[in-house]
Amino acid sequence: MAKFRYKMQNILNVKEKLEDQAKNEFSLAVAERNEEQEKLEKLLIKQSGYEARLKELSLGALDFHEIRTCKEAINTMKRLIRDQMIRLSKAERKVELQRQKLNLAQQERKTHDKLKEKAFEVFLDELNKEEMKQIDELTSFKYGMNDGKPDEETEDDQ
């Protein structure tokens, strides 16, 4: 029996490898974005801690040096948070870019999968036609062996 061989299998293999690579790059970008998000959350928690400390200092005995230090820490945290938000934004853009690359790689692989399926269907059709041809030849050969008579008939059957 004939064996199906897809002529562009090597291209399909390359497309599958490119898709796997795009999946890996996407997952790395997501992990990086999550890491940046965690850093931002930690900075926000730290800032709210400094703000709570400033509130405590304002209510008790006034220690101007401590209040000034706390306000400077809050301003520093605001700057760090702003910088972290920029890094997070860059990481999100990178995730979106990697998502687009992954979608493109998946589309290309699916296109080649469909081409392979169609080629397989054509192969099956050709195989079926060849089989039908062989059956017709075999039938013709058997018919020819009987000198053109379908089957031996006896006089009783007539």
Distance, CA of 115 to CA of 119 (rounded, Å): 6
* 84 within some domain: yes
- The pTM (predicted TM-score) of the whole model is 0.72
User: Residue 58 is part of a domain; what is its CATH number?
Assistant: 1.10.287.1700
- Domain assignment of residue 134, yes or no: no
Model pLDDT, residue 83: 97
Distances (CA, A) of 95 to 33, 43, 56, 75, 156: 7, 22, 41, 30, 87
Range of the domain at 83: 9-109
Q: Classify residue 149: in a domain, yes or no.
A: no
pLDDT digits (tens, 9 = 90+) for 32-77: 999 999 999 999 999 999 999 889 888 877 888 888 999 999 999 9
Domain count, the chain: 1
Q: Give the whole-angstrom CA distance, residue 71 versus residue 48.
A: 12
